[in-house]
Amino acid sequence: MSLNGKPVSGQFALRPVPSPKPSDRVTAGDFTFSVRPIGDALALLVTDAQSQFLKGFKGPTWFRIDAAYRIQARFQPAASPRTITVQMTDGNSTTYQIAGELLFQCADQDLRLQALTSSDRKTLFVPFRDETSGKETYGGGRFLEADLPTDSRTILDFNKAYNPYCSYNPCVICPVVPAKIDSRLR
């Protein structure tokens, strides 16, 4: 058995830390597991090196990078502290702090997205759906991280939008983009 790649025996403590920092990883044979805080709960993440799903995974596919989807947005902070309850793929829910709204133009449309406070509080977490959702991309929506605003502005680079882990593995628990946050970008 190993902890973070170093042999261990007996009892030891695990450090569960929020993403994107790595949690402690325990490996025993073909199995690796870690404990990660997700919302208000702890989740056990398990990987089986012999998994047929893992062996058959060909990797993600991406849209071609398009400068038109790197957009300056105006950030309008929330007038008062507010939260939003977000459904998770396992049927539970978690609460996020609403940082404010991002107002921008794309394809000659005026659009707005809610920006949530990320777990590290160093970026904005921007979950969204668009016309590709459920067709070319994961139906539960995609995620985007944006820098904290400077002079009420930030860049939304939709070229860096990503599918959550649950789009690749049905055993992973992820937030589902709420209808209130839904946006149509394409």
| pLDDT tens for each residue of 56-100 | 878 777 789 999 999 999 999 999 988 998 888 888 888 889 999
pLDDT of 177: 87
- Indicate the burial class of 1 (C-beta count within 10 angstroms; 0-12, 13-18, 19 or more): exposed
Helix, strand and coil in the chain, % to nearest 5: 10, 45, 45
Query: pLDDT of 131-162, one tens digit each?
Result: 888 888 878 888 999 999 999 999 999 999 98
185 backbone dihedrals φ, ψ, rounded to 5°: -100, -25
Kindly tell me if the per-residue pLDDT of 110 is higher than 90. yes
Residue 159 φ/ψ region, left for φ over 0, alpha for ψ in the -120 to 50 degree band, beta for the rest? alpha
pLDDT of 176: 86
pLDDT of 131: 84
Total-model pTM = 0.73
Please give the DSSP secondary-structure letter assigned to residue 179: G
| Average pLDDT estimate for 42-64 | 82
